[in-house]
Amino acid sequence: MILLASLVGCSWLSPKRVVPAETSRFIQTGKIIAPQLLKKGGKIAIVPFTPGAGVEAGELSDKISLHIIKGISSILNERSDLFEIVTAENANEAELIIEGRLTQLQHPSLVKKLFMTGRKKSLGVSGRVIVRKTDEKIAIFTDQRDTRKKDQDLNQLAETVGQDIGRFILSEVK
């Protein structure tokens, strides 16, 4: 009886669930900080997403990063009247930069694939859009996607994450 009373009495000590300040229908969390700068559009460079803590740098993370860029580019190119994506060679002409980190990268090992267990693939990213000359943040975002589908690999998952980031950016300018 005393144990039950102490458990009920201490229940107010449990931490509250933290709800993000602003969410997007495209990504997990995101916030447009300076919509007026984003609405101006212009030349935009997309920097390859680098591996964050706990994500191994290597060929896989490089490939994933390129697929994220491909996804972002495909969506931003839909508004070619507003954004012009610049390449690495002329990145110094960019007014805006999209940069980020891979925060989670999980894929099944060969052994797990053979025994049909643990086929979950997961990709997490965080990033920002900044003004190149001033480093002023225009937008910040995080996203995470998981799949167990056999026909969806990490490259497709990365492209989907990139498309969602592109949609998030365009959501403010439409």
What is the rounded average pLDDT of the residues 107-117? 53
Topology (CATH level 3) of domain 22-171: Rossmann fold (3.40.50)
What is the rounded average pLDDT of the residues 84-101? 92
pLDDT in tens, 20-75: 444 456 788 999 999 999 899 899 999 999 999 989 999 999 999 999 999 999 99
Beta bridge partners of 99: 128
Closest CA to 121 of 67, 40, 48: 67
**Residue ranges of the domains in the chain?**
22-171
- Which pair of structure tokens corresponds to residue 5? 């009373």
Per the rule left: phi > 0, alpha: psi between -120 and 50, beta: everything else, 54 is left
- Band (pLDDT 50/70/90 cuts) for residue 115 is low
pLDDT at 9: 44
H-assigned helices in 26-153: 35-39, 59-76, 110-114
- Band (pLDDT 50/70/90 cuts) for residue 128 is very high
**Rounded CA gap, 136 and 34, in Å?**
9
Q: What is the DSSP letter of 70?
A: H
pTM of the model: 0.78
- Band (pLDDT 50/70/90 cuts) for residue 151 is low
